[in-house]
Amino acid sequence: MKTHTLLMPLDMHLHLRDGVMLENVAPLSAYSYSGAIVMPNLVPPVATREDLLAYRERIMAAVPNDYFEPYMTLFYKNYDKAFLESIVDEITAIKLYPAGITTNSEGGVSSFDIEEMRTTLETMSSLGIPLCVHGETDGFVMDREAEFMSIYELLAQNFPDLKIIMEHITTKEAVAMLDKYPNLYATITVHHLLLTLDDVIGGLMRPHLFCKPIAKRPEDLDALLSVALEAHPKVMFGSDSAPHPQHKKESCGCAAGIFTAPISLQLLAEIFDQFDKLDNLQAFVSDNAQNIYGICPEFKEVTLEKRPFLVPENYSGVVPMFAGEEIGWAIESVD
């Protein structure tokens, strides 16, 4: 059997939720990843030092037997300089959500007034705290990310020393931005390397393939593949794995989010192998992230094997992407 080994895989955009859901899904990521950037959009959001430390403690309690580092983030607010200086050693980044644009983002930014944001963003620049951004407007759903490019430009131009991560990019317009500004970087999910909108709603609606930002057009998929497969040094893997209870996905008002955490490395291996680019997978799932964030993850060696793997129907009540379907790679061992 063909095998491929990855060192210190990293998931640079992960939703672990809280409570029972956290306890169920955190071990699945901790098993195969050395660490992950953990999103702060809980209810209420993680926005204080106390909230942050308590959430980290709950995460570690959920994965007591795995070598796994949760890289913690704060929910963006216009924080003052003193607070940011006091918290800098406890966080890896700050996550900005436009208000109401996705799950639990109601307290996000409603106006991108640069002067109102200046103190926070200049302090983040000087302290070396990256800004992670969910980049969508509230316009027509297929155009929301492309419309947000002007805001990325505004941020990149006004704060040239601020490291800005365009999260879970889905469009050719976002890919083009990577080489336009030196301080713009991006995460790309595995599902956006596989899906177009046609896969989601071209036939019967497939709720477990529905996420935000929504999958786009074939030309957007091609643009994402072009930079991911070459492991462009400014892109890194971030699953945006977003678990919801089955009844929240299979209902009127279907929750947005695709659960990929337990199968993401296997799917990535399948994609990169298909295009004869397996040698670039290490950079995409670890090396680039280490360079961009300046982190040194826990050692972990994951060996993947090219053999059929039947995706479980659910993981503790959470239905994964491709549930009940066969994929082409499996995890052979984790050391």
Is 255's pLDDT higher than 90? yes
**pLDDT for the residue 8:** 98
Mean pLDDT along residues 58-71: 94
Task: Write the single-letter amino acid at 308.
Answer: P
Question: Which tops the pLDDT comparison, 17 or 65?
Answer: 17
Query: Which pLDDT band holds residue 118 (cuts at 50, 70, 90)?
Result: very high
> Which long-range contacts (C-beta less than 8 Å, at least 24 apart) are formed by 156-160?
156/181, 156/183, 156/184, 157/181, 158/114, 158/118, 158/121, 159/121, 159/122, 159/125, 159/183
Task: Read off the pLDDT of each residue in 26-38 and give the average, rounded to a whole number.
Answer: 98
pLDDT-derived band at 104 (thresholds 50, 70, 90) equals confident
- Residue 240 annotated among the catalytic residues of the structure: yes
| Residue whose entry in the numeric block shows the structure tokens 């959001």 | 45
CA dihedral 172, 155, 114, 211 (to 10 degrees): 40
How confident is the model over 188-242, as pLDDT tens digits?
Answer: 999 999 999 999 999 999 999 999 999 999 999 999 999 999 999 999 999 999 9
Is 178's pLDDT higher than 90? yes
Q: Six-digit token pair at 212? A: 């935000």
Residue 224 backbone phi and psi in degrees, to 5 = -65, -45
- Exposure class string for 25-57: b at 16+ Cβ within 10 A, else e: bbbbbbbbbbbbbbbbbbeebbbeeebbeebbe
Q: What's the token pair of residue 244?
A: 């919801």
The rounded mean pLDDT for the chain is 97
pLDDT of 127 > 90? The answer is yes
* Residue 148 pLDDT: 97
- Which contiguous run of DSSP H or E holds residue 285? none
- Cis peptide preceding 45, ω within 30 of 0: no
The secondary structure of residue 263, as a DSSP letter, is: T
Q: Which helix or strand (DSSP H or E) is residue 301 part of?
A: strand 301-305
Q: What is the pLDDT of residues 306-316, one digit of tens each?
A: 999 999 999 99
The alpha carbons of the chain give a radius of gyration, in whole angstroms, of 19
Single pTM value for the model: 0.97
Nearest Cα residue to 185 out of 163, 159, 155, 208: 163
Whether residue 101 has pLDDT greater than 90: no
Of 161, 240, 273, 335, catalytic: 240
Cα 273 to chain centroid distance, Å, stands at 22
How far apart are the C-alpha atoms of 225 and 243, rounded to whole Å?
25
CA dihedral 191, 238, 74, 137 (to 10 degrees): -50
